[in-house]
Chain A
Amino acid sequence: MKVPLWKIAHARSGDKADRADIGLFARDAETYAVLKREVTRERVAAHFAAMISGPVEIWPLDNLLALKIVLNGALQGGAARSLRMDNLGKSVAAQLLRMEIETGSDPGQTPVSRR
């Protein structure tokens, strides 16, 4: 089934030069395997097609159950020359959390780790 990322993961974004970068964090190992499989460079590039002019890079971190995602050419040249309200890319992670992925079975709604 199709599920938006916000139901199963959490994320924070920031800026460096003309890049927005996102950490995407799975709640558990099972969800991490799904993220690793489904959150591909192609899909992320398509999700941000209107905003970015460069390639997408993704590094999976098995030890953190996380994906590091970098959007190149995402900030109109950089935060201090961007005309946007979100010149620092702080809400880029929220944009990513709206992306839908295929999860197989219903994963429910738990974005953070269970203690």
Chain B
Amino acid sequence: MKSVRIGAGLGFYGDSWLPIRASIERGGVRYIASDHLSELTLAILQKDRQRDPGTGYARDCVPMLADLWPLAAKHGVKFVLNAGGLNPEGAREAIARLFRERGWRATIATVSGDSVLEKLDALREAGEALSHMDSGADIATVRERMLFANAYLGAQPIAEALARGADIVLTGRVADAALTLGPLVHELGWRWDDWDRLAAGLTVGHLLECSGQGSGGNFGSAGAWAEIPDYAHLGYPIAEVREDGTAVITKPPGTGGRVSFDTVRQQLLYEVHNPHAYYSPDVVLDMGTLRLADEGGDRVRVSGASGAPRPARLKVVGGYHDGWMGSGIVGFAWPDAYAKCEKAAEIILALARERGWTFEDTCVEYIGYNSLLGANADPSHRDELNECFVRIAVRTKDKKLADAFGRLFPWLGLSGPPYIGTMKGVAPAKELLGIWPTLVRRDLVESKVEIGMERVG
């Protein structure tokens, strides 16, 4: 039976591409599916593009391909990356420039048309409410502050770009798993209404989209995390997918990490809401019928995916300006480390009050005590901590106020409680973004999707 091996690329903008070498050299992969865009990465790219219109893509794709392409070309490996971000053509130009400089040959495709920021008003006129998916709020409340709004496209344009001969496919926003589903459909010849096979492909894509998290990274557990071998050389997951939709998740030989029933099911349910209706642009997956069989030797067989027809609407995620965060961190050594942190917070907040500063929200957290565990921190050793840091963050519409807040902290160095540890924590104002998930009729977006092809060399 026909099959194809696909390897995970990055799991976020800034992730390491070094583990991909092992997947290409000895993992037998034909494709690397690389996810550079988290839910809000487009906000970073939007800021880049405001400064320089030639940017707006995930720039790590250029050094990544500079490093990996000679090896990939030798092994006949293709790349599908959503590193195009807000400017897939810009990413293509940058990569084409690199390839020309090095004398390399490749056909580079772009998939664009996912951005709907400029079309929000037209979509409203076409009858789309664009109200918030969860709260039902009217988009008019944030329309003027919207920084980006992109539809999640599916795997079809990726499969088409590959069919036209692309070696590298650069997309903007697509469903993360589409980066894998596209090559699967292209290679295995699945029909776009074969819901169970598409669901199987979606499952595999979901298992690959978070790089090392699919092969033992971030293995959430008490104690068991320490048994994951050789984190420093953790291999990214690889899927071997057969024509019938069954797959084996594995990783390159001789790498760290672990692929087991436990590590694979952790990734399977990661950032999933209703597991019986896991939506994608191409199919809706029911995880309730999946079977994971641990074959040992870092191999887990995945089968039994059930799919329902693709949704009539695509998900759009927008991000809007939502004020500023001001913050500072200060730490103290024993004795009374926690008590001194509490005192420092009391002083800082009193100084802010006396200046007449008011904030929409204030967050006081004690690093080393409760900054990650919140109300579920164990208070029994609180007063005997060796050391403790306090971090105070405030929310305000006023950027100057957010900047000024952090500057209250250094004064504590000579005039506050004793055994102060650091003054490195004074942070400049940070822009906060609200997220606007909504739905839009797919034909209104898909009719505008464009595939561009460029042959270099």
Please list the residues of chain A having a beta carbon within 8 angstroms of any beta carbon in chain B: 6-7, 10-19, 21, 23, 25, 47-51, 57, 59, 61-66, 68, 70, 72, 76-81, 83-86, 90-91, 93-95, 97-98, 111-113, 115
Contact = CB atoms under 8 A, between A and B. Distances in A.
Given A19-B273, A21-B271, A83-B327, 10 more contacts: A6-B221, A13-B220, A78-B435, A79-B435, A80-B322, A81-B322, A83-B361, A85-B365, A94-B220, A115-B296
Contact of B222 (A6, A47, A95): A6
Contacts of A76: 361
Contacts of B133: 17
B435 A80 contact: yes
Contacts of B43: 80
A83 B395 contact: yes
B435 A95 contact: no
Given A17-B435, A59-B274, A64-B268, A10 B291 contact: no
B221 A111 contact: yes
B269 A68 contact: yes
A110 B334 CA distance: 35
Nearest to A75: B435
A18 to B, nearest CB: 7
Majority-rule SS of B interface residues: mixed
A68 to B, nearest CB: 5
A21 B271 CA distance: 6
A48 B376 CA distance: 8
Contacts of A64: 265, 268-269, 287, 290, 292
B437 A12 contact: no
B276 A17 contact: no
Given A66-B265, A83-B394, A112 B272 contact: no
Contacts of A63: 287-292, 304
B272 A10 contact: no
Contacts of A21: 269, 271-273
Given A77-B434, A78-B434, A25 B262 contact: yes
A80 B275 contact: no
B134 interface: yes
Given A13-B220, A77-B434, A83-B325, A59 B276 contact: yes
A115 B294 contact: yes
B374 A51 contact: yes
Interface in B390-409: 391, 393-395
Which residue of A25, A70, A83, A113 has the most chain B CB atoms within 10 A of its CB atom? A83
Give the size range of B's interface with the partner.
Answer: 35 or more
Contacts of B261: 113
Contacts of A77: 322, 434-435
A17 B135 CA distance: 11
B218 interface: yes
Contact of B40 (A19, A68, A80, A113): A80
B374 A50 contact: yes
A25 B378 CA distance: 23
Nearest to B434: A81
A101 to B, nearest CB: 15
A16 B39 contact: yes
A113 B394 CA distance: 43
Contacts of B362: 83
B224 A112 contact: yes
Nearest to A19: B273
B363 interface: yes
Interface string B223-235: 1100000000000
A72 to B, nearest CB: 8
Contacts of A11: 220-221
11 contacts: A23-B265, A50-B374, A59-B275, A64-B269, A70-B273, A83-B327, A83-B361, A84-B393, A85-B365, A86-B374, A91-B373
